[in-house]
Structure 1
């Protein structure tokens, strides 16, 4: 099926430049690198084996006893690495069952894979959703020092990865999940550490005119875990961002900065590079969903940003589940 998009080249080129310029101008807010020569400056496309989270994961791997490796370590291409779910244990042992030093290394990985503000949010979320960081689960795929090694942590409302770019062209090492159960089914999700993202996204809807709102507002949301990348030939829900004015596009770019902000700069930089490779802002669509409108207030709790290389599905009712997949389609 053909992708709905605007094909006027001058507008497309302009908006992509505006998008990168807007992101670069917000470097201090989102941890993004400044602009150099019209593109996002970065040390590389994503983290490396020598990044903070990856070196901690390598030390964790080396610390494991043989009996621990039997239950925590898998070949890199194991099917468990490809699963995503908002609430699952990738392995049976909890982090709290590891040795004290190993628990500290896992925490170092998490801290290295997130921004300072994001780390604080994730720790609050883990405490409130599952009784603490110690109740989550980890797995290690492949071996450190090779081109195929990944750390993964899962549990209620969280999937986090650190892969040293073993999965090239995929931000965050592959699809990730985040969420929070606080405020369940209550208007405004009181106490929820991710509700601010609903507020930010709805600023875009508030800036749309009547015709644009008709395009952006969709009755039923797709399955929340349906974040497979469609590539350039895909059909995406909602309004094509090529239909927006420069000011409206800046609002969308500010949403992208906000939702990426909990993660480390290396992953954010790779994500931005992948968005650009997929056609930039004008290749994305944004949809808001009528279903499950908490409080029936027209502040849409479920919304989605999607394009050829980018899917961010935010389900904010009855509480937050967000599924993310950002990768170059090959």
Structure 2
């Protein structure tokens, strides 16, 4: 299928970018890798090797072993189309809607499609898998098989590797703990336009990720007037990968410091993080917790809500951000959900 024809099958929501491999090659030649920036995946990140934490997903995890079998199944033409060296700059890119390579999962044979589904199931929790499948069905004609996957490195060897899935409202990774100190193997993105609606109703009916925003707004409801003034800003940050660049010691003092909250509110913040992590496999969730602990824990985070694009003008904030020195999670619920996430042991 021609690239332009394939792209036409993806709904144009006015804010979600498409990016084919052809576009990538063109932009690379022009020096315009805007989404591959320092603090966003580290294209040359070191192989974790024998120093990796065994509690995080390693090469023997279910998703990783399925990646190795998937890689082995690829023909030479397929490898030429979707496989790259591990240190290729394309691996670190994160976008809200793009084709990392031209072939889609639907272009593969029956065994390869099944392996991609096995990998996807392995990188999520049971609940998360159901939610991702609903999201993909709503967001792309053909659902899961309309998405694209690429392989970096050599999954069959002891060398580092990463499997990346992209498409409308997803950039997800499986890396066997190949990227040292980076949760998920680098920054990720997930989103949803519920029931295919570009602009959702204020309650975000049927949006699979909106429970995360409900948990954040529960925290806001417990704040006093002074805390609300500190937590609430007028203008939202840009809806792009740069907003989750890890800031380290340069983290701004905007937003509300979690360290200033009482014990119950801090526990609600932990619950908020757990709500987000519940969609992923436990190994990745545990790695996020370890990274957060290594960079200062929950007390190092700042929570910010934004008045901009408050759907329904109901004071239930659609856009908010939880950020620390090496933790950045930006949730935009307007006009529908976009969620950017980047977590490491240090910036």
Smaller-chain TM-score bracket: 0.7 to 0.9
State yes or no: 1:134 paired with 2:145.
yes
- SS of equivalent residue, structure 1 residue 214: helix
* Ranges of 4+ aligned residues in structure 1 off by more than 2 Å: 42-45
* 2:12 paired residue number: none
How far apart in 2 are the matches of 1:45 and 1:85?
A: 28
Instruction: Give the 3-state SS of the residue equivalent to 1:104 in structure 2.
Output: helix
Q: After TM superposition, give the deviation of residue 157 of structure 1 in Å.
A: 0.3
Cα contact 1:236–1:306 (8 A) shared by 2: no
1:262 match = 279
Once residues 188 and 93 of structure 1 are traced to their aligned partners in structure 2, the CA distance between those partners, rounded to angstroms, is 36
Question: Does the CA-based 8 Å contact 1:53-1:113 persist in structure 2?
Answer: yes
- Looking at structure 2, the residues matched to 170 and 295 of structure 1 have their Cα atoms a distance apart, in angstroms, of 37
1:195 match? 210
For 1:188 and 1:207, locate their aligned partners in 2 and report how far apart those are by CA, in whole Å. Answer: 20
Residue 214 of structure 1 corresponds to 229
The equivalent residue for 2:105 is: 95
Shift of 1:43: 7.1
Matched, 1:73 2:83: yes
Question: Shift of residue 197 of structure 1?
Answer: 1.3
Asked whether the equivalents of residues 290 and 345 of structure 2 are also in contact (C-alpha less than 8 Å), the reply is no
Give the structure, 1 or 2, with the largest relative contact order (CA under 8 Å, sep 6 or more).
Answer: 1
Q: Contact 1:123 / 1:133 at 8 angstroms: preserved in 2?
A: yes
CA root-mean-square deviation: 1.3
Gaps of 5+ in 1: 1-41
Counterpart for residue 152 of structure 1: 164
Q: Secondary structure at the match of 2:149?
A: strand
Which residue is equivalent to 1:48? 58
Q: Partners of 2:253 and 2:87 in 1: how far apart?
A: 30
SS in 2 for 1:56: helix
State the Cα distance separating 1:103 from its structure 2 match. 0.4
Q: CA contact under 8 A between 2:179 and 2:185: conserved in structure 1?
A: yes
Deviation at 1:233, TM superposition (A): 3.5
- Alpha carbons of 1:313 and 1:236: their partners in 2 closer, same or farther (altered >3 Å)? farther
- Does the 8 Å CA contact 2:193/2:200 hold for their aligned counterparts? no
Moved more, 232-241 or 120-129: 232-241
In 1, the alpha carbon distance for the partners of 2:58 and 2:136 equals 27
Paired residue total: 289
Give 1:185 deviation, angstroms: 3.4
* TM-score, reference length from structure 1: 0.85
1:1-330 residue pairs with structure 2 within 5 A? 44-131=54-141, 132-144=143-155, 145-182=157-194, 183=197, 184-224=199-239, 225=241, 226-329=243-346
Corresponding residue SS for 1:259: helix
- How many Å apart are 1:236 and its aligned residue? 4.9
SS in 1 for 2:202: coil
Cα distance in structure 1, aligned partners of 2:290 and 2:205: 35
The 3 A distance-change label for structure 1 pair 324 and 79 is same
Q: How much has 1:293 moved relative to structure 2?
A: 0.1
Residue by residue over 1:260-294, the C-alpha shift from the partner in whole angstroms, topping out at 9 and shown as x without a partner, is 11000000000000000010111000000000000
Q: Deviations over 1:86-135 (max 9, x none)?
A: 10000000100001100000011000000000000000000110021000
* TM-score scaled by length of structure 2: 0.81
